[in-house]
Amino acid sequence: MTEKLRVGVLASGGGTNLQAIIDASEAGEISAEVVVVISDCDDAHALVRAAKFRIANFCYQPKEFETRDDLNHQIRETLDVHNVGLVVMAGYMRLLGREVLSAYENRVLNIHPALLPSFPGAHGVRDALDYGVKVAGLTVHFASEEFDEGPVIFQEAVPVYDDDTEETLHNRIHELEYRLYPLAVKYYALGRLKVEGRKVRIQGDWDRKTVVK
Ligand code: GRF
């Protein structure tokens, strides 16, 4: 049996995307396992989810570190110690520093609840709604040193309805996220994501119906 891809997840909040990846892995849908979860908030529910599945979990709050570099160094060490092959940012509300990004070059994924490059930042859903767009969506991409930037792996759109609130729209986006993020991990584990400059070429047949119901 080939070894499963060892995944390290960074999360600041509820961790529902983390849960989707854990579930896909437990169900044997992806050849990957979450081996460590790192958060920057001690009350992140993502940490509770990790503990429930006996996944090693750590909270590194920026205030505990003298500099951002020190924080990044700690994150890198923890990922290294757990022999992580892929880093997944799942609602991690901070930029990763160069040390982690270079050590894990083209091995860090991020997900953003908007169709990038529109509406980057902490309030992508709210900003899109306030702008009055008719179509919103999500982006899964390789992370870079800029917020919500880097080669795009998947994007999918969802409609925006007149009576949408930030919550209803985000829920619609979340449903898609729970399919696309595990799928990105799956494809990465299978070696199907080839980065060529800004482009990600998905190797082999890619049936979009498996992505969007
Ligand atoms: C997701 O919508 C993701 O796109 C964004 O932050 C949210 C995290 O949600 N980056 P959760 O913590 O996975 O529930």
pLDDT at 39 over 90: yes
Average pLDDT over residues 52-72: 97
Cis peptide leading into 117, omega within 30 of 0?
A: yes
Residue 213's pLDDT band, with cuts at 50, 70 and 90, is very low
34 and 25 Cβ atoms separated by less than 8 Å: yes
Percent of the chain with pLDDT over 90: 93
Ligand 1, CB cutoff 6 Å, lining residues: 11, 13-17, 90-91, 111-113, 174, 177
Place 101 in a pLDDT band, splitting at 50, 70 and 90.
Answer: very high
Nearest CA owner, ligand 1 atom 7: 91
Give me the phi and psi of 177, to 5 degrees please. Answer: -60, -40
Indicate if the pLDDT at residue 151 is higher than 90: yes
Output the pLDDT for position 205. Answer: 81
Compute the chain's Rg from CA coordinates: 17
- For residue 89, the CA-to-ligand 1 centroid distance in Å is 9
Residue 209 pLDDT class (50, 70, 90 cuts): low
Q: Give the distance (Å) from ligand 1 centre to CA of residue 113.
A: 7
Mean pLDDT of the chain: 95
- Whether residue 111 contacts residue 181, with contact meaning beta carbons closer than 8 Å, is answered with yes
- The pTM for the full model equals 0.95
Q: Distance from the CA of 115 to the center of ligand 1, in angstroms?
A: 14
